[in-house]
Amino acid sequence: MSVVFFPSRLTGEVKAPPSKSMAHRAVICAALADGTSRITGVAESDDVLATLGAVRAFGADVVGIDGGFEITGTRGFGGGAVVDCAESGSTLRFCVPIAAQLTDGVCRFVGRGRLGARPMTEYERVWRERGLTYEDRSRGGALDLTVGGRLGGGEFALRGDISSQFLSGILFALPLARESGSLRVTTALSSRAYLDMTAEQMALFGVTVEEKDRVFTVSGDYRAADHEVEGDWSQAAFFAVANEIGSDVRITGLRSDSLQGDKAIAEMLTALRSDGDLAFDGEQCPDIMPVFAVACAYREGRVTRLKGLSRLKIKECDRLEATYALLSALGADIRREGDDLIIKGVKKLKGGAAVSSYRDHRMAMSAAIAALGCERPVEVDDCSCMSKSYPDFLRQYTRLGGKAI
């Protein structure tokens, strides 16, 4: 679905959609709990639908209700389940360890896009060290992974600088083990906020996570709870950046005390208004860096260095290269030095270009926001990917006055 975005100004009020990251976690905890939980405020993005499908495959009962889902926890499954992760890295990495605690049999994970090419080395190492089945037949980015055998307890030693999703997956699975277990993180932690979000959600469902010297232990059993998913700071970031380049949108539905790492967008945009050259590290909040780079491109006459961007290369696309390509095509003064982007802001980007979304939801939405301040329209080749995380984005964008055909 190709869309042309015209220079325009957004005005009005928008409620941040429910957090996709929190929804994944709430659905999983409810599916592992004893009893029935009501999870409300769930946006049915492609990624969240993938996780709902996964817990159904594991034996949880999922029923749609007004504004969300009623989920009755699983007692395990007999093996042979097939989980379609679509393009959701969270679904895949959260659910592989869970499957290995719920059955002695095998479970097959399939998916599309670049999902099969995204790193899974931490799990492969653990499975092989424990003598469990780990068969990866992924080809050309399409995922085809089969795991088998009971994961159990004991100590799990994982790197923390590849993706926090591996750590969250093990934490979700530890209360299900028949033996006690722990998670030891062997490196510095990237995206620490996501691990805190996991611990917060587990606590709401009866499981306490404790940490000492990068060793995590869990206590308690999952129990049913009713929960409303909070607003998503990472999606609100798009409209926050729109404001930075001339729009006037009031964003509601966000928790000021949220543990979401992408809440940093508020402080980052405030800092961006100061004089002089600035530098920002994106290691702890990689998802908002493409749209934040858009704001930097409009910081007239001032230089901004974005560093710590290596993890952008292993997302739905290589977001580091995609961000550089997008802003270059629109006329930004931008250069790349290793994994850093150096941007000298201008008053207006030229636009007048056809650009690729790389079938990446965050790149498509970043392009739409960048087009607001351009001199000429911007055509984005495939915007259907927005449904991965924010299916209502285009409707909200045009409702607020954005011009798109």
Match 């930075």 to its residue by tokens.
244
> Mapping DSSP to helix (H, G, I), strand (E, B) and coil, where does residue 390 land?
coil
Residue 372: which of 297, 306, 303 has the closest Cα?
297
> Mapping DSSP to helix (H, G, I), strand (E, B) and coil, where does residue 41 land?
coil
Cα 302 → chain centroid: 30
Q: How far apart are the first and last CA of the chain?
A: 10
Read off the tokens for 356: 């690729």
Match 């590849």 to its residue by tokens.
162
Read off the tokens for 121: 């080395």
Residue 371: which of 318, 326, 308 has the closest Cα?
326
CB-based contacts of 258, cutoff 8 Å, min separation 6: 230, 233
Read off the tokens for 387: 């449904």
What's the DSSP call for residue 23? H
- Residue 101, phi-psi category: left (phi > 0), alpha (psi -120 to 50), beta (remainder): alpha
Residue 221 bears catalytic tag: no
Residue 86 to residues 24, 46, 54, 199, 326: CA-CA distances in angstroms? 14, 8, 10, 25, 25
Radius of gyration over every alpha carbon of the chain, rounded to an integer in angstroms: 21
Query: Half-sphere exposure (CA, 13 Å, Cβ side) for 152?
Result: 11
Residues 248, 287, 339, 360: which is the catalytic one? 287
Tell me the sheet residues that pair with 394.
none
Q: Which positions are annotated as active-site residues?
A: 287
